[in-house]
Copies of this chain bind each other. A is one copy, B any other.
Amino acid sequence: MEIKIIKNVMQYNKEEADANRELLKDNKTKMINILSSPGAGKTSLIIETIIQLKDLFRIGVIEGDIASTYDSEKIKKFTDNVVQINTGGTCHLNASMVAKALKELNARELDIIFVENVGNLICPVGFDLGENYRVLVSSVSEGDDKPIKYPKAFIKNDLILLNKLDLLENSKIISDFNLDFFIKNIKEINNNVEIIKISCKTKEGFESWISWLKNKLNA
């Protein structure tokens, strides 16, 4: 008696991710998967980006959380195109969850879709969602050792945003964050990745982030 083996989970996810990519391709919609630790600033980044780009592009957001609609309610004040995915405890989004959200969003009518992944520097890394670009948000307050301690999170990105720059450049605070050390350790594992320093609080560095985005949208 032969025991049937369920199709490999990662292979299944890959097929669903490819289907998501295919769905968005026709209409040149770009999907951006945003990863970070809890509290690194993904939601603030998305809100400020919507404010700056809402007259130029049709923007949608897929909010991934293990529980609550707290972040999507915040984002709802700036755009109606928000879908919340509650994973019910699962520590990352997968392509099949995103496929359902894309249907809800009327994805084809949007220019950009930001996917805010579950706050977790480990588990979301291995799951392709069908995104066009992957952006990692790291923050000054997490410390300069994150690329050493979570190397896989820093490898697969198209862009790394270092947020909370205001905590580094405020002369009233003694910060032990060593920027050279942070960058050196990223370059050792992902030499080609672009790194942009920003502050969602002071808006410093947003010109560079917005310009990176516009380049990708026209690509």
Measured CB to CB, the residues of A under 8 A from B are: 1, 3, 37-39, 65-68, 70-71, 89, 91, 118-123, 139, 141-143, 145-146, 148-152, 164, 167, 170, 172-174, 201
Contact = CB atoms under 8 A, between A and B. Distances in A.
B39 A70 contact: no
A12 B200 CA distance: 45
Given A122-B91, A143-B39, A149 B1 contact: no
Contacts of A38: 37, 121, 142, 146, 149-150
Contact of A150 (B67, B172, B173): B67
Contacts of A120: 91, 120-123
A67 B149 contact: yes
B37 A150 contact: no
Contacts of A68: 148-149, 151
Contacts of A167: 141, 167, 173
28 contacts: A1-B1, A37-B39, A37-B142, A38-B121, A38-B149, A38-B150, A39-B139, A39-B142, A65-B149, A66-B149, A66-B150, A66-B152, A67-B150, A67-B152, A68-B149, A70-B148, A70-B149, A91-B120, A91-B123, A118-B122, A119-B149, A119-B150, A120-B120, A120-B121, A120-B123, A141-B167, A167-B167, A174-B201
